[in-house]
Amino acid sequence: MINLSGLLSIKGISRPELFSFFDQVSSTKNSSQKQNQKLSTTSDQVGILAFFEPSTRTRVSFEAAGSALGIRWIVLNPENLSLKKGESVKDTFQALALYRPDFLVIRHHLSGFCELAQKWTNLPIINAGDGFNEHPTQALLDAYTLWKKNPKKKYKIAFFGDVVRSRVARSDIYAFRALGYDLSIVDDGGLETKLFAKAFKVKLISRAKLKAQDVVFCLRVQKERGSQVQMPALMPNDLGKQTLVMHPGPVVAGEDLAYELCDFKAKNNLVHEQVENGFWVRKEILRNVLNLKKRGPKK
């Protein structure tokens, strides 16, 4: 899964694969913190960052982690590509592949786009979020954040907010389920949420049950994907004393999380830990993808 040349999906990942990956992340983190290591093997690697939707955390953490590994990046700005002149995306990606990058990191608004791009280019692709389909690197950093806190704990986690249009929810469900966590979704009364819960075999709970959770995983309303969800923001009095709050970001303060819950350094708030772990997790993903590239020189 993670040791394939690329990372399109987290679906089907196993607990041993996750544990082995988390061990790698922790060991890289510890050794890098001791002696700011760079991998000599990656110095000739070129990656393309192709983000067709806005991003702060994912794009910058990939760029920072890759730079720390010696990767040279080509950062595309979709506004300046010849797509604007009417060229197809397929022709665009086939042209990009001819410049022989070693891999691509892609974010796109179409669900399933990364799989298509891999077929067009035959290059390793890391899915940095495709429509409402998946966000596998986010799932790895979310799962790592909880595992790091307590590797043995079987967390009770409730998703709160716009689950239906969330690629994070989908990928997190695959990763959290592999770790044996107890998952639920807060019922907003909508038919789509009921159908989603049924399709993903996750139980629906009432908002009042949030107090009994170890973690509330809050999700932004995906207005750019046509969401009509109108749940009042998560409030401090929704939570138990020990309940941990997670959110993949970006947070819309007052809409997803009440302003009082937007102190990302607060004891029970993991938002900044998630963001920081994004760097280490993505560094390890890049190392896995690039280690496979040691098979031979570029032709």
Among 29, 42, 45, 57, which residue interacts with ligand CP (rule: CB under 6 A)? 57
The interface mask with ligand CP, positions 240-269, x = CB under 6 A, is --------xxx-------------------
138 binds ligand CP (CB under 6 A): yes
64 binds ligand CP (CB under 6 A): no
Chain centre to alpha carbon of residue 134: 8
Nearer CB in complex with ligand CP: 205/248: 248
Sheet holding 46-51, edge to edge: 6-7, 125-130, 103-108, 46-51, 72-76
55 binds ligand CP (CB under 6 A): yes
Q: Which stretch binds ligand CP (CB under 6 A): 4-12, 51-59, 151-159, 262-270?
A: 51-59
133 binds ligand CP (CB under 6 A): no
Strand duo 182-186 + 244-246: pairing: unpaired
Among 20, 30, 56, 88, which residue interacts with ligand CP (rule: CB under 6 A)? 56
Tokens standing for residue 219? 């999700």
Question: Cα separation of 201 and 184, whole Å?
Answer: 9
202, 183 Cβ separation under 8 angstroms: yes
Nearer CB in complex with ligand CP: 75/195: 75
Instruction: Report the candidate in 15, 21, 16, 19 with the shortest Cα–Cα distance to residue 3.
Output: 21
DSSP 8-state secondary structure symbol assigned to residue 201: T
Nearer CB in complex with ligand CP: 26/55: 55
The footprint of ligand CP (CB under 6 A) covers 55-58, 129, 138, 248-250
